[in-house]
Chains A and B, each alone.
Chain A
Amino acid sequence: MNDVTRAPARRRTTRGENPAAAEGRVRSRRARSGQWAAWAFLAPVTVYLLLFYAYPLYRNLDLSLRDYTVRSFVQGGAPFAGLKNYRTVLHDPVFGSALVHTLVFTLVSLAFQFTIGMALAVFFTRHFRLSATLRALFLVPWLLPLIVSASTWSWMLNSDSGVVNSVARSLGVAPVNWLTSPQWSLISVVIVNIWIGIPFNLVVLYSGLQAIPASLYEAAALDGANGWQRFWRVTFPLLRPVSAITLLLGLIYTLKVFDIIWIMTKGGPADSSTTFATWSYRLGFGNLLPAFGPGAAVGNLLIVIAVAFGLIYIRIQRKQRLT
């Protein structure tokens, strides 16, 4: 609980950092009281971030560096293990496949979400009757609770009674064990994740398209550019900054995806749809004997990957602001 007592001290230090002595006394007093007020309004969030973000993350780091069992939670005394958990995780046969699945899941999802989202955004920029309503309806998959989407798709993809296989049969295509065969489980969760991600890409790219002046298209049309050329020569280059941000945000979201996979396949069968996110969860919570240390270690590796891309995102955003 010493975190709570730290906050006033923090505020004192920001108060003490008054501006250079070159300024007049009155002015520095006003600046100081201004800083004081500014941080007074920020104090709740700062304390909150320390208590409910930094501390859980610290605990997680601590978990990954110790030999934890349920008993040591209650009685204390988990021996410090250094990087042992990380070594365990790296040498685990699941590591390689989880890495591949995470990459495939993320990249394939992104490619399709973005392409379909872009096509739809372009389609919706030409206003037609009902276009606003239909565009709003496209948001539904993104807004539904993931458990709703995942359980609905689970039933649709059910091997015997699912509507997808039923349609396949009537078209003369051999039905597939979507969720219960190692060849198809990853593809199934990717399909669902694409479906959930399309609305986000559509909305963001659409708002990016709105910012492109119509006069450019008119000029291009006058120069005799057809629709295809107009897209590749005008839309695509001008959308590049928005596209970059959309893809990066999508990347960061997709790396984190856990609910859909866990609810639909639990990462199975035989780890065929296990990603870092589900693996970390399964190590920590999914077994009778939780391996908190290794679970936390996998989670921390995932943080490192996500934050690395996060830093790229921040850089791009800065560049955009400067232009």
Chain B
Amino acid sequence: MTGKATWWRTGLGLVLTALMLFPVYWMINVSFTRDTDMRKTPPDWFPLHGTVEGYRAVFHQQLPYLGTSLLVGLATVVLTVALSAPAGYSMAKLAPRGRGVLSFVLLIAQMIPGIIMAMGFYAIYLSLGVLNSPVGLVIADSTIAVPFGVLIFTAFMSGIPEELVQAATIDGAGRFRVFWSIVLPVSRNAIVTVSLFSFLWAWSDFVFANTLVGGGSRRPITLGIYRYIGNNNQQWNAIMATAVVASIPATVLLVLAQRYVAAGVTAGAVKD
């Protein structure tokens, strides 16, 4: 491949990427647009008369919601990893009887539409009187990620050499010790992938938030945006500014952990 032969490909690639990412650019552009320019025809293609009014509104009104989302996301990560890492270890290394049934159940679990889970959770939380609790939201959000987590951990831990486990066992380590001191540290990449996705899914969740959390300051940011659209659909710069802020985790993830993202997307779709 000479540079000469591929410059047109780079050009075409740039054009395609720009087309694909235009909505993202537009979100940023609108977030800096003044209210007075919002309904201009044609619209301003660049934020020439930039204003940070929208972002000021975010920090005044949405800050607690961002905090809620952050806490709910982190708690979901802890719960998901704590549940799925031991399960993955067992499925990969301990040959439990009934493994086939369990992996079948986990696959099916991923196919259940979120709205149906939401309705079930709503019925349960209503009878228990725990609607509007962050803990309830964490539990609901974790259902998106746990089956995926077990799948990733099982696939990854199956690749850990048997000798490593055997050597530790000969040295007298029990199964839990092997799991804790050998398997977990070696599985760092799987832990990162599962954590990233469980955080992102909890952060992005809208269905559970909208059904299980009503109002109050305990709203996650997704509801913050949603209520914003409902209440003042004039202030699009504030709505888009909130959207930009809500996109930060996804962007950071892509910049810092692109490899893990790609691994997560293809998990279960492509044979390793």
Interface residues, chain A, with chain B CB atoms under 8 Å away:
14, 17, 34-35, 37-39, 41-42, 44-46, 48-49, 52-53, 55-60, 63, 73-74, 120, 123-124, 126-131, 134, 136-149, 151-156, 160-161, 163, 166, 169-170, 195, 198-200, 203-204, 207-208, 211, 241-242, 245-246, 249, 252, 255-256, 258-259, 263, 277, 280-281, 284-285, 292, 295-296, 299-300, 302-303, 306-307, 309-310, 313-314, 320-321
Number of interface residues of B (CB under 8 A): 98
Complex contact B113–A42 (CB within 8 A): no
Give Cα A152 to B236, complex, Å: 9
Looking across the interface, which residue of chain B has its beta carbon closest to that of A323? B271
**Chain A binding site: helix, strand, loop or mixed by DSSP?**
helix
Give Cα A255 to B134, complex, Å: 28
Given A39-B90, A129-B6, answer yes or no on A147-B222 (Cβ-Cβ < 8 Å): yes
Count A/B pairs, Cβ under 8 Å: 292
B152 in contact (CB, < 8 A): no
Complex contact A302–B113 (CB within 8 A): yes
Given A35-B96, A130-B13, answer yes or no on A152-B206 (Cβ-Cβ < 8 Å): no
Complex contact A38–B90 (CB within 8 A): yes
Interface residues, chain B, with chain A CB atoms under 8 Å away:
1, 3, 6-7, 9-10, 12-14, 16-17, 20-21, 23-24, 26-27, 30, 38-43, 82-84, 86-87, 89-91, 94-98, 102, 104-109, 111-124, 126-127, 139-140, 142-143, 146, 150, 175, 179, 200, 203-204, 206-207, 210-211, 222, 225-226, 229, 236, 239-240, 243, 246-247, 250-251, 253-254, 258, 261-262, 265-266, 268-271
Given A38-B95, A242-B270, answer yes or no on A314-B104 (Cβ-Cβ < 8 Å): yes
Given A41-B94, A73-B127, answer yes or no on A143-B254 (Cβ-Cβ < 8 Å): yes
Give Cα A251 to B39, complex, Å: 38
- Within the complex, the shortest CB–CB distance from A229 to chain B, in Å, comes to 20
Complex contact A59–B20 (CB within 8 A): no
Looking across the interface, which residue of chain A has its beta carbon closest to that of B107? A314
